[in-house]
Each structure stands twice: as C-alpha cells, then as structure tokens.
C-alpha cells in the first residue's frame, strides 16, 4: 500500500551537467557541474544563487530549452502540456494585444475554441489586466508585461510553474501583485519553482529552497531549517555562498 502522505516529485534533476562551447575556438564552459534537485508537489520552491551560478540554465534544462550534457531530468507531470514558464525579463510580441497574445498561447496548447475565450477572460481578471486586454504589448509597462507573462504561463492550467526572476525590476506594487499571484497558485495546490535575488520575497513565499553556486546545489532544505542556522535568510545565503 502506498503511503497516502507520500508526496509526488514533480521535477527531479539528478547529477545534471551542462557544458557550452563559447568563442571562436569553441572553448568549453561548464555551466552546470552536477545539479541535484527535487521539487515536490504543491511546494513553493526558491532557487537561489549569485549571478552566473546556473539558476536560469537549470530551468532551461528542466524545460528542454537546453539539453543536459549528462545526468537525468524528469518531469513528474504529463509533459510540457502541464508546465508553465515565465522567462527572465520577458519580451513578447509587440504587435499583439494582451488578449491576442493569450489566445495565441492557448492555441499552442490546443485548448478547445469553446473554452478559450472564457479562459482568457479569467486570466486577464486574475492578473488585473482586463482594462488593457486590447492594448498592444508594446505599450505595456514592465509590471504589466510581467503579469501578462504570468498569465501566459497559466493558460494551460499547469501543475508545475517555473518562474525565472518574476519580481526583478518591478516596483513595490508590482512585486506585491506578483507575490499575491504566487500565493493564490499555492493555495490552489500548484507547484511553483522560482529564481530570485530578493530574499525577503523568498522568505515570504517559499517552503523550500536550494542554493546554487558555481553550477552545483550547495544547500537545499526548508526555509525554517535555514533560519535555525542564521538570523535572516540573507545571512544564511551569504554564509553558504562564501563558505
């Protein structure tokens, strides 16, 4: 009999390496040096690390945007059809309105035409963009782009959401709005993994974190565990990264 309390792993990376070749002489550059990471169902998981540590590459490898040089990547959900992704500093199609863009994304998931319009209305309401639904994306502010980016990541009602720096560059109101969206997703049982340098947001939202440094996961565990060892998450992060 399976343990009913046993939680499902929705993303599992084991000993993932990624080497790219750069420059004219195709010099090898190892970005990931054996990343081990497991994300359980319904968690809000924070992926932390200094710039260039490999956070974005880890997400890209998880999505298949980049291929792992070695190691295994397993999605515990039913393929990319059940995954949502918000890229860092998102840029979308300038010439489309918010509604047209979401319609385009919904069609990529082959959503039935009869539910498409209703789904788009729901998403626009959830991210507070009903008033800008017909405005072209080139006229959107950074905060609005971030919110439409989250809406496109939710268009397929995903089980797993990967958000790359969702709060970066937003003003305090924009940050609060994005945090509320993540909280609502958590309440609905969605699994969220996000990268961030804003440790107060990570503290507020995440139950679990992993710290990546120089292409390796150097610490992972519960936020509460980290706070047992240091006064603040920032202190803990600095101690782990500089150790």
Partner 1 sequence: MRQLAAIAANTFKETIRDRVLAVIVVFALVMIAGGLWLGAISLGEQGRMMKDFGLVAVTGFGLIVAVFIAASLVHKEVDKRTVFVLFSKPVSRAAFITGKFLGLCGTMAVVLAGMGLFLFALVWLLQGSPSFMVLAAVLMIYVQLLAIIAVTIFFSTLGSAILASVLGICVFVAGQLSHNVLALTRLGSNTVTEALSWVIYVLIPNLTAVDVKAGVVGEQTLAWGQISLWVVYLLAYVVVVLALATVIFRRKEF
Q: Which residues of the shown chain bind partner 1 in the complex (CB under 8 A)? A: 60, 63-67, 79-81, 83, 85, 87, 90-93, 95-96, 100, 104-105, 107-110, 152, 156, 162
Q: How far is the CB of 91 from partner 1 (least distance, A)?
A: 5
Q: How far is the CB of 231 from partner 1 (least distance, A)?
A: 37
- Comparing CB distances to partner 1, the nearer of 109 and 227 is 109
Q: How far is the CB of 120 from partner 1 (least distance, A)?
A: 14
- Comparing CB distances to partner 1, the nearer of 107 and 139 is 107
Contact 80, 109 (CB under 8 A): no
Q: How far is the CB of 3 from partner 1 (least distance, A)?
A: 32
Q: What is the DSSP letter of 221?
A: E
- Within the chain, how many helices (H) and strands (E) appear? 8, 9
- Comparing CB distances to partner 1, the nearer of 165 and 199 is 165
Residues written for the chain: 243
**CA 67/CA 61 separation, integer angstroms:** 6
Q: How far is the CB of 235 from partner 1 (least distance, A)?
A: 34
**CA 191/CA 40 separation, integer angstroms:** 7
Q: Could you give the maximum distance between any two Cα atoms of the chain, in Å?
A: 57
Closest CA to 36 of 211, 238, 239, 227: 211
- Comparing CB distances to partner 1, the nearer of 109 and 204 is 109
The two tokens of residue 76 are 């515990």
**CA 227/CA 202 separation, integer angstroms:** 12
- Comparing CB distances to partner 1, the nearer of 60 and 147 is 60
């Amino acid at each position: 009999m399976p343990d009913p309390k046993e939680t499902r792993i929705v993303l599992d990376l084991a000993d993932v390496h990624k080497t790219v070749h750069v420059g004219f002489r195709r010099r090898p550059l190892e970005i990931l040096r054996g990343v081990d990471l497991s994300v359980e169902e319904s968690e809000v998981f924070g992926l932390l690390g200094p710039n260039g540590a490999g956070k974005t590459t880890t997400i890209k490898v998880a999505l298949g945007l980049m291929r792992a040089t070695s190691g295994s990547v397993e999605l515990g959900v039913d393929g990319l059809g059940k995954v949502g992704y918000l890229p860092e500093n998102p840029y979308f199609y300038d010439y489309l309105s918010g509604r047209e863009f979401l319609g385009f994304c919904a069609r990529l998931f082959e959503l039935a035409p009869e539910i498409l319009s209703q789904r788009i209305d729901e998403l626009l309401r959830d991210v507070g963009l009903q008033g800008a639904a017909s405005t072209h994306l080139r006229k959107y502010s950074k905060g609005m782009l971030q919110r439409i980016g989250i809406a496109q990541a939710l268009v397929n009602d995903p089980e797993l959401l990967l958000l790359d720096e969702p709060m970066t560059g937003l003003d305090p109101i924009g940050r609060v709005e994005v945090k509320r969206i993540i909280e609502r997703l958590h309440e609905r049982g969605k699994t969220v993994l996000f990268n961030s340098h804003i440790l107060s947001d990570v503290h507020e939202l995440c139950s679990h974190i992993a710290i990546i440094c120089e292409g390796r996961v150097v610490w992972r565990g519960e936020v509460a565990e980290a706070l047992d060892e240091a006064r603040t998450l920032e202190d803990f992060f600095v101690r782990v990264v500089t150790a």
